[in-house]
Amino acid sequence: MQKLGLELRNARLEVVDAEPAPAHERAHARAADRLSSPAIEARGRQGVGASLKHFAANNTETDRMRSSSNVDPRALREIYLRGFQRVVRDAAPWTVMCSYNRVNGVHAAENHWLLTEVLRDEWGFDGFVVSDWFATRSTAESAKAGLSLEMPGPGNWYGKKLGEAVREGELDEASLDRIAGDVLRVYERTGVLDGTGSAEEQTLDRPEDRALNRGAAAAGRGCAPPPAP
């Protein structure tokens, strides 16, 4: 795990994706969730953050930009959110990526209950929340819900529109300060603000590095590691 974190750091990757087991594969979920936390922690020790995704109840690819995952509150917490909760509390990922779908009728990117009440207030998450690509659908509502960053950039809803929303009274300055602070905290962790981050990209291409990457790729696909050449 530590060596993989070093590989990522040398590639100048400050934040990479991480995903707990999907809720419809609960037979393997507990083991997968227990593996997620050490992987995220090892990356963090090398100065590489993880982006935990897709939050939450992202259980279909069909029409996922418009679909709503309507889930009973108990099932939502005990099945669909449990893996995220464990990883947030145990490993403190730097970012969380919200999903495309609605959760009980409210888009994840606009869901204050999900992004603020549960993720931040209950679980203590202190990083930033990023949208999945083109999942943002509003300016003020998303910012008030706790969406820190619209992706990809430059986006359609954030940027100058955040300032306009404040001037027009649709968004209070405290909400804007809060999401800006989320992003700045992660910048600080990467070393960008004090000039110690984003060093020159390096390549680790030793035989042991190749073996490590082959093994990690094979394990990620549930395969036995290939033999060394």
Q: Domain extents for the chain?
A: 2-198, 199-229
User: How high does pLDDT run on average in the chain?
Assistant: 82
Beta-carbon contacts of 5 under 8 Å, excluding residues fewer than 6 positions away, are 42, 43, 44, 45, 46, 48
pLDDT band at 166 (very low <50, low <70, confident <90, very high): very high
CA gap 195, 211 in Å, rounded:
33
| Residue 126 near residue 164, CB atoms below 8 Å | no
pLDDT band at 190 (very low <50, low <70, confident <90, very high): confident
Closest by CA to 129, choosing from 137, 142, 29, 6, is: 142
CATH topology of domain 2-198: TIM Barrel (3.20.20)
Phi then psi for residue 188, to 5 deg, are: -65, -40
Cα torsion through 201, 206, 207, 213, rounded to 10: -20
Q: Render the burial of 186-217: b for 16+ CB within 10 Å, e for the rest.
A: beebbeeeeeebeeeeeeeeeeeeeebeebee
CA gap 227, 58 in Å, rounded:
36
What is residue 8's predicted lDDT score, i.e. its pLDDT?
A: 47
| Residue 40 near residue 125, CB atoms below 8 Å | no
Query: Which pTM does this prediction carry?
Result: 0.78
What is residue 220's predicted lDDT score, i.e. its pLDDT?
A: 62
Q: Which two tokens stand for residue 170?
A: 């649709």
| Residue 100 near residue 68, CB atoms below 8 Å | no
First-last CA distance in the chain: 22
| Residue 109 near residue 136, CB atoms below 8 Å | yes
Closest by CA to 206, choosing from 216, 197, 194, 214, is: 214
What is residue 48's predicted lDDT score, i.e. its pLDDT?
A: 80
Give the catalytic positions in this structure. Answer: 132
Mean pLDDT is lowest, of 66-70, 117-121, 177-181, 212-216, for 212-216
